[in-house]
A and B are shown apart, each in its own frame.
Chain A
Amino acid sequence: GENVEQHPSTLSVQEGDSAVIKCTYSDSASNYFPWYKQELGKGPQLIIDIRSNVGEKKDQRIAVTLNKTAKHFSLHITETQPEDSAVYFCAAVLGTGTASKLTFGTGTRLQVTL
């Protein structure tokens, strides 16, 4: 079935290093790809999103890249800080018309160590 795969499931980096999380999707018609950050005990929060008419989008230390041909997109966090430690979810709108839904990946637990 249509799904979103996310890797890695856990990621540990030292403070100041970069972190990269990758996702692949199955539906070539997908055109909206958001990323969410979930801190412990809280609901997910949108941190950045990209639409299929652009290949890259940046917001300060975070960036998302999209390769529609290969059907994958990635989250890049530079100069990581302890407050970046959280679970990150990618998502993609799969399906068309009234059957379209936002489907989430299974999450990546990022740990930024001092």
Chain B
Amino acid sequence: NAGVTQTPKFRVLKTGQSMTLLCAQDMNHEYMYWYRQDPGMGLRLIHYSVGEGTTAKGEVPDGYNVSRLKKQNFLLGLESAAPSQTSVYFCASSYGFRYGYTFGSGTRLTVV
């Protein structure tokens, strides 16, 4: 019963580098999400997917790209990291918007 698994847990990038955050869920959820969490700003939606092969922009999509090639996986990419992308990133999944979300344990990303 792994739930939602995020890798890596920690990462330090230099400005301009790229990386991919991986998210995997084993609950057969259709919907998957990427959030960022910054102090005092709660959870802000970056991108989301309502099913395999679909993606959509959330509240703060600039500088990020996503892919959902398989139902169980949702990848978040940073093409050219900036210090403003220093944050804790959470992946989540659910049966739909009006159902409880299951969150991963987060990835702490620092861009220097």
Secondary structure of the B contact surface, majority rule: loop
Do A89 and B42 contact each other (CB < 8 Å), given the known contacts A43-B104, A101-B58? yes
Give the residues from 75 to 114 in chain A that come closer than 8 angstroms, CB to CB, to chain B. Answer: 89, 93, 100-107
Do A93 and B97 contact each other (CB < 8 Å), given the known contacts A43-B104, A44-B103? yes
Q: Number of contacting residues on A, CB 8 A?
A: 24
Secondary structure of the A contact surface, majority rule: strand
Give the residues from 17 to 63 in chain A that come closer than 8 angstroms, CB to CB, to chain B. Answer: 31-32, 34, 36, 41-46, 49, 51
B64 at the interface (CB under 8 A from A): no
A44 and B42: CB pair below 8 A?
no
- A36 to nearest B CB, angstroms? 8
Do A102 and B41 contact each other (CB < 8 Å), given the known contacts A43-B90, A43-B106, A44-B90? no
- B58 to nearest A CB, angstroms? 7
Q: Number of contacting residues on B, CB 8 A?
A: 21
Contacts of B40 in A (CB 8 A): 9, 106
Closest to B35 in A: A104
A102 and B104: CB pair below 8 A?
no
Give the residues from 73 to 101 in chain B that come closer than 8 angstroms, CB to CB, to chain A. Answer: 90, 92, 97-98, 100-101
* Contact surface of A with B, Cβ cutoff 8 Å: 6, 9, 31-32, 34, 36, 41-46, 49, 51, 89, 93, 100-107
Q: What are 16 of the A-B contact pairs (CB < 8 Å)?
A: A31-B98, A34-B100, A36-B103, A42-B106, A43-B104, A44-B43, A45-B103, A46-B101, A46-B102, A89-B42, A93-B97, A100-B97, A101-B48, A101-B97, A102-B101, A107-B42
